[in-house]
Amino acid sequence: MSAEDPALPRLRALVRERLGVEPAALEPLHHGMALRRFYRVRLPAGVRPASAVARLEAPEDPARRPAGLPPEPPLEPLRSFLEAAGLPVPACLARDAEAGIELLEDVGPLTLGDAVAGASAAERTALYTEACDLVPRLQAVRDPGGTLPAFQRRLGPPFFDYKAEFFVRWSLPQALGRDPLPGEAAVVRAAFARVAEEAGAAPVRLSHRDLQSSNLLLRPGAPPGARLVMIDLQGAWLAPPEYDLVCLLRDSYVELAPEEQRAQLARVRPLLPDAPPSDVFLRRFELLTLTRKGKDHALFLYHASRGDARWLRFLPTTVRHLRAAAAAVADTDPRLGRLAELLSALPEQPCAR
């Protein structure tokens, strides 16, 4: 029998102190790649709400953070700020900052990815329209005066360097069938540096940073246009206007057809506060796909090396996104062309080494 999570006594005490009831049950919830844990807190019959979700903070994995940069900030006060700005986030029922416990509104288990899996084409379009419409709303939010870490964090060269090294370490051997030679690793670093140059010249706005289907929940009973709730907010930062759209439309967990991607991009671009010219917008979308999906591909392999192979089933979609992005920009810069050549050999299924 496994030992109880040592944070659970404090969680039970928080429920008693703030909600005035004893929790009826604490059910572990599936979590993603982060080390933080989640529990569904069932409350006694007749109590409203009937349940809540407990979010228990944990130390970061240092292998997944660029060297020399601080860890992600806590959820508060960003959650409260976005809530006050009218963005759809879970309500906070109680928190214990010292213990790193947040007791949040239970929005339910249905993710955007789950919802579109069996949806009609019209419903899928409607849900992705609602999801993409969150991007200009986020980008319209302004810094409240230097009080929020999200506005001090920015996608910049250290993050692109980290993504390049992660791809070299975990993904490039898959394309080569062996460890990379120095010149082959340099191809990845040079291409990612080129993306960093163009991203560095772009305007930056508030970005969720991980706005993909698994981090959008559907609130039960909500009307169309107000169904989606954003979770996993703490990593928000300033990034080029295309970044969250890459996360949404080039999601490793939901593969949208190219025409669906193009339609949403054409629709949303004029709604963005900076409204980049179409050619610039589409080019940065492809460039940021290379670095974002390159990092994701490497991350799936990294977790598999640590015994968690759940993510390997998402490699094929990720590889197809990488190839599409590389093909779109390969002729525009020799550094990108050389990366495209390497990506053409990247297998959709992982190779044993």
pLDDT tens-digit map of 267-321? 999 999 999 999 999 999 999 999 999 999 999 999 999 999 999 999 999 999 9
Residue bearing tokens 């960003």: 78
Q: Is the pTM of this model over 0.85?
A: yes
Mean pLDDT value of segment 243-251: 98
Kindly state whether residues 217 and 127 are assigned to the same domain.
yes
68 has pLDDT over 90: no
DSSP letter for each residue of 126-172:
HHHHHHHHHHHHHHT----SS--GGGT-B--HHHHHHHHHHHHHHTH
Asked if the structure places residue 320 within a domain, the reply is yes
Kindly state whether residues 48 and 191 are assigned to the same domain.
no
Number of domains in the chain: 2
Which is more confidently placed, 32 or 312? 312
3-state SS, residue 183: helix
324: its two tokens: 């599409």
Cβ 14 vs Cβ 22: under 8 Å: no
Q: Of the candidates 105, 140, 167, which is a domain's last residue?
A: 105
101: its two tokens: 């416990």
Kindly state whether residues 95 and 122 are assigned to the same domain.
no
Q: Are strands 237-239 and 228-230 parallel, antiparallel or unpaired?
A: unpaired
1 has pLDDT over 70: no
Kindly state whether residues 43 and 145 are assigned to the same domain.
no
Kindly state whether residues 16 and 165 are assigned to the same domain.
no
Contacts of residue 36, Cβ cutoff 8 Å, sequence gap at least 6 = 55, 56, 57, 58
Q: Which residues pair with 105 in a beta bridge?
A: 52
pLDDT tens-digit map of 11-25? 999 999 999 999 999
- Average pLDDT, whole number, for the chain? 94
Distance CA(155)–CA(322), nearest Å, equals 20
**CATH no. for residue 34?**
3.30.200.20
By residue range, what is the domain housing residue 21?
8-105
- What's at 346, amino acid-wise? L
Kindly state whether residues 97 and 124 are assigned to the same domain.
no
Kindly state whether residues 334 and 310 are assigned to the same domain.
yes
CB atoms closer than 10 angstroms to residue 311: 20
Q: Of the candidates 105, 137, 167, which is a domain's last residue?
A: 105
pLDDT tens-digit map of 170-226? 999 999 999 999 999 999 999 999 999 999 999 999 999 999 999 999 999 999 999
Kindly state whether residues 119 and 93 are assigned to the same domain.
no
Tell me which residue of 130, 84, 332, 159 sits closest to 224, measured CA to CA. Answer: 130
Distance CA(62)–CA(82), nearest Å, equals 28
pLDDT of the residue at 353: 60
> What band does 2 get if pLDDT is binned at 50, 70 and 90?
low
pLDDT tens-digit map of 72-82? 899 999 999 99
Q: Of the candidates 105, 123, 140, which is a domain's last residue?
A: 105
Asked if the structure places residue 340 within a domain, the reply is yes
